[in-house]
Amino acid sequence: MTPTGAGRFAPSPSADLHIGNLRTAVLAWLFARSTGRRFLMRVDDLDDRTHSDIAARQLDDLAAIGLTWDGPAEWQTHHPQRYDHAVDALAERGLLYECYCSRKDVQQAPRAPHAPQGAYPGTCRDLTDAEREERREAAGRPPALRLRTDVTTHTVHDLLHGEYTGVVDDFVVRRGDGVAAYNLAVVVDDAAQFVDQVVRGDDLLASSPRQAYLANLLGHPEPTYAHVALVLNEDGARLAKRDGAVTLAQIGMPRVLEQIAASLRFGATTLAGMLEEFDPAGLPRDPWIYSPAT
């Protein structure tokens, strides 16, 4: 029997969660619980492997505002074999190639006219064995692995953005240091945990076509997406810790939840009350401009 679907929240432990991150977590919880899904917590620590103290504080803060999740939080670094398995499966199908480009190489490479902005220019895609050897020696470091894609775009369905078509390029699935790349890890983890609803900040909307395309390749169903508007500071930039009183430790409870509720135009100020009122169609579509109390 397939377990019921799940939603999730997947913080990266790069810094303490601010009110914008907490608000996205509340929305992910509301979307999951209001549709009878399980709600899972995942620590996306592949890029921040030394920050288990920050991750622990993030989980404490999420619990402190009243969020509950099913089962213990899962940590990406605890199961590298899960990603290796997916990479091996793609490699066996001839879908990966080695890439020796540095970030700078990618930025400076000549682009075909009309090549989409931000797409890998394909420098290492069709190297001969001799060329590959030459680049390997010149780079002096292990290659990243890129997906050999046969499309340039993919369309996903997003509950808030409708049909969204975005770039799918030959993106990295394993970094040169052997660690699974974010786009692969997310897809593999969501599938392994039967996550079928992905609610997260709309800064990741542009990544969703790549991820959905990869999910298809790996034989996994595409999740339903809801990319929610981010929280901005008074200058219109993405909210950050330096903006002042933005973390739970700084704002305190129940104020942080009251502010989140007000920003989402809920009358209720408890999670249970918000769940009763929750209607995705009525969610504000614009970013919330947050002014920390002075």
The residues of the shown chain that bind ligand GLU, judged by CB under 6 A, are 10-12, 44, 186, 200, 204
Rounded least distance, CB 207 to ligand GLU, Å: 8
Rounded least distance, CB 288 to ligand GLU, Å: 18
Task: Tally Cβ neighbours within 10 Å of residue 98.
Answer: 17
Q: Cβ closer to ligand GLU: 12 or 263?
A: 12
| Angle, helices 80-92/182-192, rounded to nearest 10 degrees | 100
Rounded-to-integer distance, Cα 44 and Cα 179, Å = 12
Q: Cβ closer to ligand GLU: 12 or 233?
A: 12
Rounded-to-integer distance, Cα 188 and Cα 79, Å = 11
Q: Cβ closer to ligand GLU: 124 or 180?
A: 180
Q: Cβ closer to ligand GLU: 20 or 121?
A: 20
Rounded-to-integer distance, Cα 148 and Cα 169, Å = 8
| Angle, helices 52-64/19-34, rounded to nearest 10 degrees | 60
Cβ-closest position to ligand GLU: 44
Rounded least distance, CB 267 to ligand GLU, Å: 28
Rounded least distance, CB 141 to ligand GLU, Å: 26
Q: The tokens 């969703």 sit on which residue?
A: 208
The strand pairing partners of 132, in sequence order, are none
